[in-house]
Structure 1
Amino acid sequence: MESLIKFVQDEFVTKKEFPKFNAGDTITVYYEIKEGAKTRTQFFRGVVIQIKGAGSAQTFTIRKMSGTVGVERIFPINLPALQKVEINKRGKVRRARIYYFRELTGKKARIKERRFKQD
């Protein structure tokens, strides 16, 4: 049964190529919103809290602060409305799911930036 599901996903689900990102990274997600007959592109910029699932069922959660209120949004990786994902900053965290980030405020809520060697 699992091989049948995997076959259908491989054959019929269209896969989009997005850059590789992890928990702690600050990303911007551009997605399409339909309002009546009109469509517009909206973006959501925040920190990746978790990446969950595998294959076509993979989702990722982004958290941003809107004023003093924290807003989280879950995006499926194969959402047809997803247009583009941009990585703004690479974060240095020690966990794959940073739920503790929800309780932090102020300077404690900052994530160190990961540095890369350039050849």
Structure 2
Amino acid sequence: MSELIKFVEAEYKELRASFPSFKAGDTINVHVKIKEGNKERVQQFQGTVIQRKNVNTNGETFTVRKISNGIGVERIFPILSPSIEKIELLREGRVRRARLFYLRGRQGKAAKIRKKIRTS
């Protein structure tokens, strides 16, 4: 049984390397495969990463939050999920925490995350 798990983990390890490195506070666009009946399509879920859990392990997950029609929507994605087609890093945020649960109680400008300024 463990050999089968190791085989699957090795297969998805290359997939993880293809994703950009992101952290809490970054705005990302996750392309998710949705299956409806016998059709399959790609749906985009764009929002702010509020946490990454079990980083650098095979059970790693990340939570993305967005506001849709005035209601906060959060989705938890396993990083090694075969339903994730692509992850795009849109904007890097400047935060001082690894978990941004305080955003749940904020709206509008209070929920805004500063943009990280890169100097090189």
Alignment partners' CA distance in 2, 1:11 and 1:45: 31
Shift of 1:9: 4.9
The number of residue pairs the alignment matches comes to: 114
Q: How big is the alpha-carbon RMSD for the aligned residues of Structure 1 and Structure 2?
A: 1.6
**What amino acid sits opposite 2:85 in the alignment?**
Q
**What amino acid sits opposite 1:84 in the alignment?**
K
Gaps of 5+ in 2: none
Task: Report Cα offsets for 1:55-94 as digits up to 9, x if no partner.
Answer: 1100000000001100000000011010000011100000
Residue of structure 2 in register with 1:41 after alignment: 42
For the residue of structure 2 that corresponds to 1:102, the secondary structure is: helix
For the residue of structure 1 that corresponds to 2:116, the secondary structure is: coil
Q: Residues 44-83 of structure 1: matches in 2 within 5 Å?
A: 44-54=45-55, 55-83=57-85
Same amino acid, percent of matched pairs: 45
Residue of structure 1 in register with 2:33 after alignment: 32
Task: Report Cα offsets for 1:79-114 as digits up to 9, x if no partner.
Answer: 101000001110000000010011111111110000
Q: Does the C-alpha gap of structure 1 residues 10 and 98 become closer, same or farther in structure 2, counting only changes over 3 Å?
A: same
Report the TM-score, using the length of structure 1 for normalisation: 0.89
Shift of 1:10: 4.5
Q: Which moved more, 1:61-70 or 1:14-23?
A: 14-23
Runs ≥4 residues deviating over 6 A: none
